[in-house]
Amino acid sequence: MKTIKKHKFGNVYAYELGYSAVGRPLMTVNCYVVGDILIDTGQSHMSRAVLDIVKAHKISAVLLTHHHEDHSGNAAVIKKAFDIPIQAHSLTIDKMKDSYKIFPYQHWVWGATTPVRLDSFIPDFYEHENLKFQLIHAPGHSKDHSVFLEVNHGWLFSGDLYLGDRIKYFRADEKIEEQIASIRNVLSYEFDSLYCSHNPRPINGKRYLAAKLQFLEDFYGNVSILADHGLDEKKIMRQLQLKEQRMIKLICFGNVSMRNMVRSVITAHKN
């Protein structure tokens, strides 16, 4: 089953895309359109819909927040069909020039990403009509993760930096200390709208992102105190009453879990 919902936040359009082989989609992802710029390209299972969006809005350039398959899944087909620049951080360009392995659940939920030659982001500012984008590298969710700030209107296209005030799981390669540093840095910029790929907050976005920072800092503090007392991952989870989202963990073959969040704190705290 495929779902496409179009949301309008002033001059910003969000296309919420969902796909499921069986039943209703469990997860959706947003691609954003502002003027003739597309931010992120959705999952490859939704390639036809995304190509239609590119055509309908006469998209002239694409900005990519990071290489994960629900954001970059249609970069290659867009490049092939329209030959327009798809700009990204140099680490995203490196990651996407060759194919890389993903888990079966990633194939199932989002679809694979095809290798593609991306374009460099114009350093500091990308200007187009009355839009002025700035790339801010914001690692932690992934090494290459970046956000795009539209400075004239105060819109932050935040990829997977926010997701929610409180989060319940990490992928195995996420780094909490980098996420905390990235959010602190991003909060030093001026913006009000937080266009998260999974959870848009068009008003008071800065407050929502600050709440996420507070949550991560508290989590870090609580886990590291118990680690200092010699408790292992399991005992820390029990002490803090942290529960696994069992279904998510099962579907994702353990690659996504609360335990990964705890482990990330312990690893960072040791170093």
Residues near Fe ion (CB under 5 A) = 68, 160
The total of other beta-carbon atoms located within 10 Å of residue 186's CB is 21
To the nearest whole angstrom, how small is the minimum distance from the Cβ of residue 80 to Fe ion? 23
With respect to Fe ion, which residue has the nearer C-beta, 144 or 160?
Answer: 160
> ∠91-259-182 over CA atoms, to 5°?
35
What is the smallest separation between the CB atom of 261 and Fe ion, expressed in angstroms? 15
**Nearest CB to Fe ion, comparing residues 162 and 227:** 162
Q: Kindly state the smallest distance separating residue 106's Cβ from Fe ion, in Å.
A: 10
| Closest distance to Fe ion from the beta carbon of 68 (Å) | 3
What does the block give as tokens for 170?
A: 């990490």
Minimum gap (Å) between residue 67 Cβ and Fe ion: 8
Q: Which of 205, 203, 191 is nearest to 162 (CA)?
A: 205
Nearer to Fe ion, 65 or 114 (CB): 65
Euclidean distance between CA atoms 131 and 125, whole angstroms: 10
Q: What are phi and psi of 148, to 5 degrees?
A: -120, 120
- d(CA 83, CA 104) in angstroms, rounded, equals 30
CB closer to Fe ion out of 131 and 163: 163
Q: C-alpha angle 140/11/35, rounded to 5°?
A: 80
CB-nearer residue toward Fe ion: 16 or 160? 160
User: Residue number with the shortest CB distance to Fe ion?
Assistant: 68
Query: Under the phi-then-psi rule, with left for phi > 0, alpha for psi from -120 to 50, and beta for the rest, what region is 254?
Result: left
